[in-house]
Amino acid sequence: MEWLNGLLDAVDGFLWGSWAMIGLLVGTGLFLSARLLFVQVRHLGHAIACVMGKYDHAEENGDISHFRALATALSATIGTGNIAGVATAIALGGPGAVFWMWITALVGMATKFTSCTLAVKYRKIHADGSASGGPMYFLSLGLKNKKLGLFLGGAFALFGMVASFGIGNMVQANSVVGGLGYLLPEVAHTQGFSPWAGFHVSWMALATGLVLSFLTGVVILGGIKRIASVAGVVVPFMCSFYVLGATIILVLNAPAIPEALGQIFKYAFTPCAAGGGALGIAVSQAIRFGVARGIFSNESGLGSAPIAHAAAQTNEPVREGTVAMLGPLIDTLVICTMTALVILVTGANRSGLDGSAMTARAFEKGLFGFGQYLVGFGIMFFAYSTIIAWSYYGDRCAEFLFGKKAIPAYRWLYTGFVVIGAVGGLRVVWTIADIFNALMAIPNLIGLLLLSGIVARETQCYCRRLKNGEFKKPREEGTRRSA
């Protein structure tokens, strides 16, 4: 078994940390940004107006409003990456890694715009009015070479379904158990922020897993409308709660913010000492870990978010693509940046800790010894919202591969895997799922590059219609956001 773990770890490390994958993801984002004339800047105001409901129409195809589609996608991306991922990037790549996270988010906005525009354009509307979409559909329906498209679409669906049990399920369930540990003062203060230290892990984790599995099942068995309804409440609440805590710390440490920002820009291009020690962190490490953690945080290019955005209630693909590009902005440029600044202004990056432990130490120092509770709650809520959102991603992939009858079986199986993840799961299963999560990006990015011309034409047409005032007509009386 050890040789298998070693082999899988090597493959996982190559896929997530190789320069080839980083170049493909960032390079695609740069290409799409240029081809779409930096739509992420030009359409930012329009995106906000769409999310606020200005262009919602109840009679249009789809299941959920623009806002709830964005909330569902964000619930899958705002998670442990915003708390533990940022700290890991700083620990391994230095403060300069944050700069490269920003770059990943900026170009990732164009990637997400493209993928979500295609997801709505090529989605499948069922007889009951519900929608199914995502890379598996725009690959199989959009590419001129139908055999290639069907192969790539099937590959993405397979990778996505397997990955949903790992990165979207078991890893997050285990994070909930870890988050609970930060709510126990005797553990947080005496055991170096090691969740469940001194406790009988199996029984405590099992109880947590069973409760979490029940809460997951109650939501996901109701389908996308119930998932979106819960995400529409949980995500704004937890984001506001977390951002408020970070804002208080930054206000109290305002004089240290310029220095923290200076470190981010300085060490993005020059080496720095690791943890105050003699060993230096090279610029290449800052780039590598910044980009890798940025991608892990906002998932731009992986192809998961388009599945949620394909359910949006709109007949305008470009409009939903515009909404979707707000995801990396909120996830990485706002929440991850606030986490990074809190870590730097409190000096937690010199604590010798890593991951969520570093972030918890930063919030504890910044909020008078009580900030670890905020981190604990943040991990729990963010992880739970990720679990329910990824269930939808997985069941759309299962539907594409095996038909609509596979959806109930998938949901029940998914609910059961929550318990496995909470008690620790199988390491080999986690690693395989992580590998498949990275593999999702390859067919998705191929599709984005080959279909970018279609998105460019759709965008030009939409911009022309928007400029001519076609969408300025008042919303019909009684129109409101769908449930």
260 in any annotated domain = yes
Integer-rounded Cα radius of gyration of the chain: 21
Query: Alpha-carbon distance 455 to 347, whole Å?
Result: 45
Residue 168: per-residue pLDDT = 84
Residue 112: per-residue pLDDT = 95
| Per-residue burial over 406-445, b = 16 or more CB atoms within 10 Å of its CB, e = otherwise | bbeebbeebbebbbbbbbbbeeebbbbbbbbbbbbbbbbb
CATH number at residue 348: 1.20.1740
359 in any annotated domain = yes
Q: Which of 383, 23, 399, 376 is nearest to 180 (CA)?
A: 376
480 in any annotated domain = no
Query: Alpha-carbon distance 173 to 80, whole Å?
Result: 11
Beta-strand ranges (E) seen in 37-120 are none
476 in any annotated domain = no
265 in any annotated domain = yes
CB neighbours of residue 14 within 10 Å: 13
> What does DSSP assign to residue 256?
G
| Per-residue burial over 351-361, b = 16 or more CB atoms within 10 Å of its CB, e = otherwise | bebbbbbbbbb
376 in any annotated domain = yes
Query: Alpha-carbon distance 100 to 117, whole Å?
Result: 26
Contacts of 257 (CB under 8 A, 6+ apart): 250, 341, 345
| Per-residue burial over 134-162, b = 16 or more CB atoms within 10 Å of its CB, e = otherwise | bbbbbbbbbbeeeebbeebbbbbbbbbbb
What does the pLDDT profile of the chain (483 residues) look like in tens digits?
677 778 877 887 777 767 788 888 889 999 999 999 999 999 999 999 988 888 777 777 778 888 888 888 888 777 777 887 888 888 888 899 999 999 999 999 999 999 999 999 999 988 877 788 999 999 999 999 999 999 999 999 999 999 898 888 888 887 777 777 766 544 333 333 334 344 444 567 788 889 889 989 988 888 788 888 888 888 888 888 889 999 999 999 999 999 999 999 999 888 876 554 435 678 888 888 888 778 777 788 888 999 999 988 888 999 999 999 999 999 889 999 999 999 999 999 888 877 778 888 899 899 888 888 888 888 888 888 889 889 999 999 999 999 989 999 999 999 999 988 888 765 666 677 778 878 899 999 999 999 999 999 999 999 998 888 777 654 444 444 443
H or E stretch at 124: strand 124-125
Query: Alpha-carbon distance 439 to 174, whole Å?
Result: 23
78 in any annotated domain = yes
479 in any annotated domain = no
Q: Which domain holds residue 253?
A: 2-467
Q: Which of 375, 353, 371 is nearest to 363 (CA)?
A: 371
Residue 274: per-residue pLDDT = 58
CB neighbours of residue 384 within 10 Å: 25
Give me the number of domains the chain comprises: 1
Please state the pTM of the whole predicted model. Answer: 0.86
